Amino acid sequence: MVKKPLILITNDDGYEADGYRLLLKLMKPLADVVAISTLESTSAMGHAVTMSMPLRLNKITDEPGFTEYISNGTPADNIKMGKHLLLDRMPDLVVTGINHGSNAAINIIYSGTMAAALEAAMDGIPAIGFSLAEYGKHPDFSHVDEFVLRIVKKVLNEGLPKGIALNVNFPKKTDEPVKGIKTARQANAVWKETYEERMDPYGQKYYWMTGVFLDGDKRVDTDEKVMADNYVAVVPAQYDFTAKELLNKLTF
Amino acid sequence: MVKKPLILITNDDGYEADGYRLLLKLMKPLADVVAISTLESTSAMGHAVTMSMPLRLNKITDEPGFTEYISNGTPADNIKMGKHLLLDRMPDLVVTGINHGSNAAINIIYSGTMAAALEAAMDGIPAIGFSLAEYGKHPDFSHVDEFVLRIVKKVLNEGLPKGIALNVNFPKKTDEPVKGIKTARQANAVWKETYEERMDPYGQKYYWMTGVFLDGDKRVDTDEKVMADNYVAVVPAQYDFTAKELLNKLTF
């Protein structure tokens, strides 16, 4: 009997999120699945990890081939705990998401979904973060299944270069069918925040962060452009921040 | 009269931290300073931002040339609020830290100090994150002043390429004088976590994350190597995660 691969899964929208439940459903026939999420959303946690408070884990499902936990950690914590606490062997693949909301362009840096995928890549585990460019509690995921499966099967079979996590973003569902998958680069597009000032019942000011997304990147092969053209965007992501072109130019 | 430059400062060890107070003291003679920190440590927050709860700001000092706030946000929030809520003009420079603990190698991805600096770089503001490779409440900062001033003055005068934040790490103080400043690349060195299991007074298990740092990077120009040789390491950091060498190789 061929041993099934082992897939570790987390997300940052909480364990009940539609995108997460869909990802679990799609992965179960392919592999033994261990899933760790949180009770509530941990969106925009970036690569936060938990050192100032104790971590907790509750097993909520224990079936043959499928184990599910709820933790009080961040998405990066969940992958760390999966790797170094829960699993007795390294997973063959880590998949995260499917995030409710795009993690294209600069969103990758704020994204718990992609932090978790990069956390796996650091240990040489192939990793894929999936996100859909639609926010809200129940976005339309009906166009993603075949692409999730195609990408996951390819990575299970062929692996990924060491230290790479794929940042896969699906365009929002439209009446037109998705045209296919394109490899893309991270768009240099960022948020410009605005702060909405309010008064609490006790007369104290507080602020809600909102913002507009500004894409001034003219290159044609960015994740934003590819998604606008109704393709699935796949950015091969790595975790070296070094601006290598400056290494021999900068002196102090 | 020449207008003084405007420097925006934050950190992730809380507003009372030695490294932050030292940085404020060093910056005040050079510029008008606006400082935003938090009541307590927000270490290891990565690039987390706050969308699920209201943000608060309290002004605790308002002197000519020096304004200080305490917020309930993350380091990235603090720079966002500085840029888009508090200041009526863009700062000439953002400096963050001085962090208690190294942000060299992979630590950059977990670091609130560097997230704040990169948040400034996204808006084209020159930014420098300072960190000292010694943890604890009162590390020895006695060797850093001249280097902080040299780097800050150079960046105030010459700027930085757009989108770049410097990740400056000081070696721990030894009996030998620091040899100088070297530009370096981010070492490919990561943490391997261990989880210490304990029992709470109510009979429930919990875990503390700890770990060992593994540096298998043999290159001689990494931040880790440079610091081990008692130089100040300066990594020019950027926020594009794209693994560009894979762009034309990866198909699905």
- B163-185 confidence digits (pLDDT tens): 999 999 999 999 999 999 999 99
| B195 interaction partners in chain A (CB closer than 8 Å) | 55, 81, 84-85
Sequence-separated (6 or more) residues with CB below 8 Å from residue A14 = A20, A37, A38, A39, A40, A41, A42
Residue A80 backbone dihedrals phi, psi, to 5 degrees: -60, -45
Cα separation, A87 vs A158, whole angstroms: 23
> What integer is the mean pLDDT of A11-22?
97
Which B-chain residues 52-91 have CB contacts (< 8 A) with chain A? 52, 54-57, 76-77, 80-81, 83-85
Cα separation, B55 vs B82, whole angstroms: 13
Sequence-separated (6 or more) residues with CB below 8 Å from residue A116 = A10, A11, A12, A75, A76, A78, A79, A94, A96, A127, A129
Task: Determine how many CB atoms are found less than 10 A away from the CB of residue A63.
Answer: 9
pLDDT at A165: 98
pLDDT at A220: 96
Which residues of chain B, if any, have pLDDT below 50? Answer: none
Write the residue in B44, B50, B84 that is nearest to A49 by C-beta: B44
Q: Residue B206 falls within a domain, yes or no?
A: no
| CB-based contact A206:B72 (threshold 8 Å) | no
* Both structure tokens of B76: 């990235």
Write the residue in B123, B238, B252 that is nearest to A243 by C-beta: B238
Q: Residue A192 falls within a domain, yes or no?
A: no
- DSSP assigned state of A231: P
Residue A118 C-alpha, separation from nearest chain B C-alpha, in angstroms? 10
Q: Inspect the interface and report whether the beta carbons of B48 and A48 lie closer than 8 Å.
A: yes
Cα separation, A11 vs A115, whole angstroms: 10
Q: Residue B247 falls within a domain, yes or no?
A: no
| ipTM over 0.90 threshold | yes
Q: Residue A214 falls within a domain, yes or no?
A: no
* Both structure tokens of B216: 């298998």
| CB-based contact A206:A243 (threshold 8 Å) | no
Write the residue in A47, A163, A164 that is nearest to B110 by C-beta: A47
Residue-wise pLDDT tens digits, A23-47: 999 999 999 999 999 998 887 788 8
Percent of chain A with pLDDT over 90: 91
- The CATH number for A168's domain is 3.40.1210.10
Write the residue in A110, A238, A251 that is nearest to B47 by C-beta: A110
Q: Residue A76 falls within a domain, yes or no?
A: yes
- For A216-230, letters b (16+ CB in 10 Å) and e give ebeeeebbbbbbeeb
C-alpha R_g of chain A: 19
Residue B7 backbone dihedrals phi, psi, to 5 degrees: -115, 130
Q: Inspect the interface and report whether the beta carbons of A252 and B106 lie closer than 8 Å.
A: no
| B239 interaction partners in chain A (CB closer than 8 Å) | 106, 109, 241
DSSP three-state, residue A87: coil
Question: Looking up tokens 């409440």, which residue turns up?
Answer: B137
pLDDT tier at A176, thresholds 50, 70, 90:
very high
| CB-based contact B132:B144 (threshold 8 Å) | yes
The verdict on A157 touching B (C-beta cutoff 8 Å) is no
Q: Inspect the interface and report whether the beta carbons of B241 and A239 lie closer than 8 Å.
A: yes
Sequential DSSP letters for B69-89: EEESS-HHHHHHHIIIII-SS
Q: Residue A107 falls within a domain, yes or no?
A: yes
The verdict on A239 touching B (C-beta cutoff 8 Å) is yes
Which B-chain residues 1-40 have CB contacts (< 8 A) with chain A? none
Q: Inspect the interface and report whether the beta carbons of A221 and B247 lie closer than 8 Å.
A: yes
Q: Residue A202 falls within a domain, yes or no?
A: no
Sequence-separated (6 or more) residues with CB below 8 Å from residue A36 = A8, A9, A10, A57, A68, A69, A70, A71, A78, A79, A81, A82, A86
Residue B167 structural domain: 6-185+218-242
- Which residue in B137, B128, B142 sits closest to B101, CA to CA? B137
| Counted domains in chain B | 1
Residue A21 C-alpha, separation from nearest chain B C-alpha, in angstroms? 22
Q: Inspect the interface and report whether the beta carbons of A186 and B242 lie closer than 8 Å.
A: yes
| CB-based contact B113:B144 (threshold 8 Å) | no
Q: Inspect the interface and report whether the beta carbons of A241 and B242 lie closer than 8 Å.
A: no
| CB-based contact A129:A162 (threshold 8 Å) | no
> What integer is the mean pLDDT of A226-239?
98
Write the residue in B84, B164, B241 that is nearest to A193 by C-beta: B84
The verdict on B196 touching A (C-beta cutoff 8 Å) is no
Q: Residue A1 falls within a domain, yes or no?
A: no
* Both structure tokens of A87: 């699993």
pLDDT at B1: 56
Q: Inspect the interface and report whether the beta carbons of A109 and B237 lie closer than 8 Å.
A: no
For residue B173, give Cα distances in angstroms to A167, B52, B126, B183, B190. Answer: 40, 41, 27, 19, 23
pLDDT at A2: 67
Residue A68 C-alpha, separation from nearest chain B C-alpha, in angstroms? 17
Q: Inspect the interface and report whether the beta carbons of B246 and A240 lie closer than 8 Å.
A: no
Report how many Cβ contacts below 8 Å link chain A to chain B.
215
Q: Are strands B32-38 and B6-10 parallel, antiparallel or unpaired?
A: parallel
Residue A160 C-alpha, separation from nearest chain B C-alpha, in angstroms? 10
| CB-based contact A94:A126 (threshold 8 Å) | yes
Write the residue in B77, B163, B237 that is nearest to A242 by C-beta: B237
Helix (H) / strand (E) containing B26: helix B18-27
Cα separation, A136 vs A102, whole angstroms: 11
Task: Determine how many CB atoms are found less than 10 A away from the CB of residue A215.
Answer: 16
> What integer is the mean pLDDT of A68-73?
96
Residues making up chain A, counted from first to last: 252
Q: Inspect the interface and report whether the beta carbons of A236 and B221 lie closer than 8 Å.
A: no
Q: Inspect the interface and report whether the beta carbons of B54 and A208 lie closer than 8 Å.
A: yes
